[in-house]
Structure 1
């Protein structure tokens, strides 16, 4: 599968996200140190994740180079998601550790496109993220079909080219 990575086309393989395997068809971006993929159970349409390629459980375990790469690419993904979903803002969140709501022990950034009135209170998005994260009975849940996730990933990869 060929996808766009800010200036060049690359071939992609499946990557690990904690104990889970993210298929190449769900990944829409990767750099040498991080990757972005669609969310199996998004809070809103366009809710995606950006993670380092190296399995690191907590934010403090990232190298300076990984932090820089993760945040530069989160910024790029956020701009793309806003454009792709006609959003006016983004919520960008990291749940760092179990007591912060992290359910997959792999650092990851939530990128959630936002619009006026999408939640009753602006901060309700955090409750929704926690609700979705804590309701994970199994990674194999079928909240979204493979086809839906693959189509979204293809759409976002194409948007990165623009």
Structure 2
């Protein structure tokens, strides 16, 4: 039986998923971002679609946050210059949630990657997984002094780019010792 993973109304291709929780038949998934703000910006969401954290069962809540921690480990290996993370949840539409499905943004950070550290919050508020994305040339920017393009200037990432990124993270996940 094939499990279809959804992010709100969107189907997440299996090739974009790089890590899943061990819960059989409906745990959390980690997948590459259609519209990343910074290199390595990924998402974790639950299999069951609910708009608010309070709607999660205790098991789903714990499962999701354990996967967030696992994904941080993967990203630290993928991006050795990472010294910190922004972990963000927009819990409901009025908090900036663009897809009514609980999800966690995980953004690798490094020293001085933004001129003004709080710029990341403006970028998160404007984030939406539809229409436009960072292109490959932009994702190759160094981790320092990031030039994050204006939303209107971003272009769609290809399925191949996203598959390659997910494959890299999946391989790293498999090579790391399970907690």
TM range (shorter): 0.7 to 0.9
Q: Whole-Å Cα distance in 2 between the matches of residues 140 and 53 of structure 1?
A: 23
Task: Report the CA distance between 1:140 and its aligned residue.
Answer: 5.0
Q: Normalising by structure 1, report the TM-score.
A: 0.86
Deviations 1:9-56 (A, max 9, x none): xx9754111011110000001122100000001001100000011111
The Cα RMSD (Å) is 1.6
Q: Which runs of 5+ in 2 are unaligned?
A: 133-154
After TM superposition, the structure 1 = structure 2 runs for residues 57-68 of structure 1, keeping only pairs within 5 Å, are 57-68=51-62
Rg larger in 1 or in 2?
Answer: 2
TM value normalised by structure 2? 0.78
Deviations 1:85-131 (CA, angstroms, capped at 9, x unpaired): 22111110000011110000000000000011111122211111112
Aligned residues: 148
Question: Is residue 2:118 matched to residue 1:123?
Answer: yes
Question: Runs of 4 or more off by more than 2 Å in structure 1?
Answer: 11-14, 139-142
Q: Give the gaps of 5 or more residues in structure 1.
A: 1-10
**Selected match of 1:154 from 167, 171, 178:** 167
Contact 2:52/2:92 (CA < 8 Å) preserved in 1?
A: yes
